[in-house]
Amino acid sequence: MTNEFEPKIVAFVCNWCTYAGADLTGTSRIKYSPNVKIIRFPCTGRIDFMLLLKAFSNGADGVIVSGCHPNDCHYTSGNFHARRRWITFRVLLDFMGIDINRIVFAWVSAAEGAKWAEVVNSTVNKIKELGPYENYREIINEVWEEEKWEI
């Protein structure tokens, strides 16, 4: 059991809803899996999807993007832009051969502490089933070797 695969997951969340929601998960002492680490953004609209690729190339097995529910954005429309960008971007990712099942897009409001735990746990389970994201890292490493790219 000790060698069970523990996926590394990065969560990109907005400051006003999901970050606060995750704080509420904490204050409510709802337990979830420690595989997820949160990076705070002002708004999901700020999230440049190239960052997702960076996370994968750096060894992430999965990514969660989460912000305010539609209409609840602190900045009126940032989450709509994020959603639209995601719709376009996933097609591109899919085309490029990136497994879009490894990216979870969710809406978690500041009042949904329990939902955040649920999102994290279900994502961890899903990524555990998918296994480590070796093939992407292999490709990236090859490219690095050949081109001597820098991050």
Partner 1 sequence: MARIGVFICHCGENIGATVDCFSVAAEAAKLPGVVYSVDYKYMCSDPGQSKIKDAIHEHKLTGVVVSACSPRMHEPTFRKACAEAGLNPYRCEMANIREHCSWVHEKGEATTKKAFDLVRTLVEKVKNNHSLEPIKVPVNKTAIVIGGGVAGIQASLDIANGGHKVILVEREPSIGGHMSQLSETFPTLDCSQCILTPRMVEIAQHPNITLYTYSELESMDGFIGNFNVRIRRKAKSIDEKLCTGCGLCCTKCPTKKIPSEFEQGLANRTAIYVPFPQAVPNKPVIDRTNCRYFQTGKCKVCQKFCPTGAIRFEQEDEIIEVKAGAIVLATGFEVKDAGFFPEYGYGKYKDVITGLQFERLASASGPTQGEIRRPSDGKIPEKVVFIACAGSRDPAKGISYCSKICCMYTAKHAMLYKHKVHEGTPYVFYMDIRAAGKNYDEFTRRAIEEDGAKYIRGRVSNLYEKDRKLIVRGADTLLGGKPVEIEADMVVLATAAVSCKDSESLAQKLHVSYDSYHFFAEAHPKLKPVETNTAGIFLAGACQAPKDIPESVAAASGAAAKVIGLFSNNELTREPVVAKINQTPPPVFSTCMGCELCMQICPYQAIDKEEIKNRNGEVIKTIAKINPGLCQGCGTCVAFCKSKSIDLEGYSNKQIYAEVMAVIND
Q: Which residues bind partner 1 (CB under 8 A)?
A: 6, 8, 10, 15-17, 19-20, 22-23, 25-27, 29-34, 37-43, 45-49, 51, 54-55, 58-60, 71-78, 81-82, 85, 109-112, 117, 151
As measured in angstroms, the least distance from the Cβ of 146 to partner 1 is: 21
Q: How far is CA 39 from the centre of its chain?
A: 9
* Closest CB to partner 1 among residues 34, 97: 34
**Minimum separation from the CB atom of position 95 to partner 1 (A):** 20
Query: Considering the complex, what minimum distance in angstroms separates the CB of residue 26 from partner 1?
Result: 3
Q: Which residues on adjacent β-strands are paired with residue 11?
A: 38, 64
Neighbouring CB atoms inside 10 A of 48's CB total 11
Nearest-approach distance from CB 144 to partner 1, in angstroms: 14
Nearer to partner 1, 47 or 127 (CB): 47
Residue by residue, DSSP assigns 65-99 as EEEPPTT--TTSSHHHHHHHHHHHHHHHHHHHT--
Rounded to an integer, what is the distance from CA 64 to the centroid of its chain?
2
